[in-house]
Structure 1
Amino acid sequence: MFNRKGKWVDAMDGSDAIAALPIDKDDPLYDEEEIESGRYVLSSTADADITSLNATVNGYDPVAEKAVYGPMLTLAEFKIRISDAIREYFDSADADEVVRGIEEMKCQDYHPEVVKRAISVSLDKGPRERELISRLLTCLHPYPLADQDLEAGFELLLDSLDDLCIDIPDAKSMIGSFLARAVVDEVLPPAFLSNRNNTHPGDGVVEKAVSLLSREHCTARLEKVWGPGDGRPVSELKAEMDQLLKEYLLSRELDEAASCIREMKASHFHHELVKRGVTIAMEEDGLDHTSNSSSLDAMAALFSFLVRNAIVSEFQVSKGISRLRKILPDLKLDVPAAPAMLDEFEEMAREGGCLPAKTTNC
């Protein structure tokens, strides 16, 4: 067959050299998408001058005994492998394995497809999977996915919205959240949103992302856009906290409680743990909380232990107490002594070293 210099080179399958034939659209193997993308594989020979093409050797074909230039896989093969890798990632949560797999495929030209496939696959999953994908994008940037790969990938995703919305009605809202989260995680420049808005005015997805980024404390909010911690819904995490705190009051085992709190991986949501813990202790003690074995004393001991071991921060304890003060009128309906009990807990917490010298409202 002819190379780009007009010279004859050996065919890849080792057969006699043949001239390139016109592409037949009626051929059952014809793939319009690949033809339009201009993808091709070049093999080096003694007669062909490949160096002038500025191509990078990506592998070696042992059958043809030649170096291979360009992507090692077709686009269709790459899509299948990426989809499989993402599904395995949902089970293992091992982002490093995904990174290694992408590097081994040596298909840099197809890297934008990683962004599109990863987010698309997660749309019909749960919050945990979407949180994993947001974290994966952070791990993939800036290598092996460069800035232009991320931007091109989101462009592909936005251009395929109509098809995605057929099967997933909430796709636009979720992709808007992915966009905003990517900006907060610094894997996507804010200019991408303005550029997209200029070329596609009235794009609801971009407007959704801009709206999320315009909120007060947007960074903290978007870090848990898929739910607190590992992506679980807030309601599920609250239920787990209640169970943990009640079990602690029964066993009074500090190490066991601390281990469970670590496993939650929800450090930015620990203020809720404080709020729920003190509330449960108040309800347990009722009017009688003066004994050394009271639930309020035990709860103060727990949070002092957690702060000393750097599991819960002083800020989170302070924020939890501030939130409790805001709902004191409601707490008094069930526990009339709630204001006095909260003051007592705050004093014990300060003495235990889990509050700064003076608490601040958050």
Structure 2
Amino acid sequence: VFVHLNFVYISQIHTTEDLSDSFVSGEEDNGGSLLSNKNINNEINGNWLSSSSNSIHEARLKAKAKRRLRKNSSRDSGRGDSLSDNGDAVRGTAVAPTSPKSKLLDRKSRLGKGRGLPKKGGAGGKGVWGRSGEVYGPEEVDEKDPNYDEAQENCVYETVAPPLEEKDFEKTVSPIVQEYFEHGDTNEVAELLAELNLGPMRSEVPSLAVSLALEAKASHRELTSRLLADLCGSVLSRSDMESSFDKLLRELPDLVLDTPGAPQLVGQFIARAVSDQILSKSYIESYKGRVGCQYTRAALDRAAVLLKMTMGGLRIDNQWGAGGGQRPVMQLVKEMNLLLKEYILSGDIKEAERCLRDLEVPHFHHEFVYEAIVMVLESKGDKTFKMVLQLLKALSASSSITVDQMRRGYERVYMDIAEINIDVPRAYFILEQFVDQSFNTGVIDVKIRDLCPCRGRKRFVSEGDGGVVKLESY
């Protein structure tokens, strides 16, 4: 009976707990008083209730308080209610302010501090110092600064380049000279060399430039002579030039191994330097009687001969010639005509090929083909015909004249044959024979052969012949 009554009493207590729970959920304002009364009852009747039911009630109260706080707007959340450690709502506790999505990019203060002005005067941002275009004045030295130094005001700051070492000289200056061979601007070379602290390596610049030019083309040697003349005075001195050429004369035995004609070429450089007044006139005479190397003696003899020839009207400033792109067209045409005339006299195909290559105008070889065919049309006899045909065949086989340049040369003759025929009556007939022979030897293809123009061979004669059509005889 005692056990039964105890079970009934415990069930009544659980029923009362459920009713109180529903009452608290319905009336949130009186939740605090009910909680206090319930806690008193639990303390009185602690022998019948477990500790787990008490923690369940605390968790429910905390969840309800959190739901009540979430109902508040974000504006009032900073001054809204918060929870204490026991789950009670506390008024006036500061909460981190949260801004709506529309104010995410707002730069004004969100804590109510300041005057409401934008940060950094509207030029805010991470790593930004001020507004765009703002110019800062010179910063004044603060004498009260603990790091202040009186000698700081008299300091002059300059960018000082370390002197160029000998091991780095060649790999630094060689690209500058090689690039100069492409653009030909001496001012750019002077600016680049002025930025380098050459120091004692200053006198090595001319010898390095000449050494590179010995292995290059004739036009590059001409550019090197111009470079030395422009650098003397502004970047290099006369003493630097003399010491550099002295080194070249001492190194001639080594230079001959790579360039067999180095003594003659160095002699031409010396003669050109004396003519450009970057070497003194007594430079060659200073070596008389004290030269033991045969290569040095050959270079100085070559320079002395060239300087003597200038007295007879030779222009030593044009001894190297000029590159194809720097020469006038009329001068190139004249040199090609002289080349063809020399070949007709000598018959040396290799020499003619070498001279054509030295002109350094591969884009203008069609002019050479044109002049050669016109020379055949204007010549008398078969000698010129056969020799020019052999020359064009050799140049075509060695690819000295490309197929495109050969084709353009023949097409130019086809276009001008009408005017050539005025001075040479048999021009059409000779041209047809030359084109046929060129096709047979493989100089041209069938397309170029078929483009060859021909004059009509048939014509009507006078009425006395009865309108008979006769072939034109030559």
The alignment's TM-score, normalised by the length of structure 1, stands at 0.46
Larger Rg: 1 or 2?
2
TM-score, normalising length: structure 2: 0.36
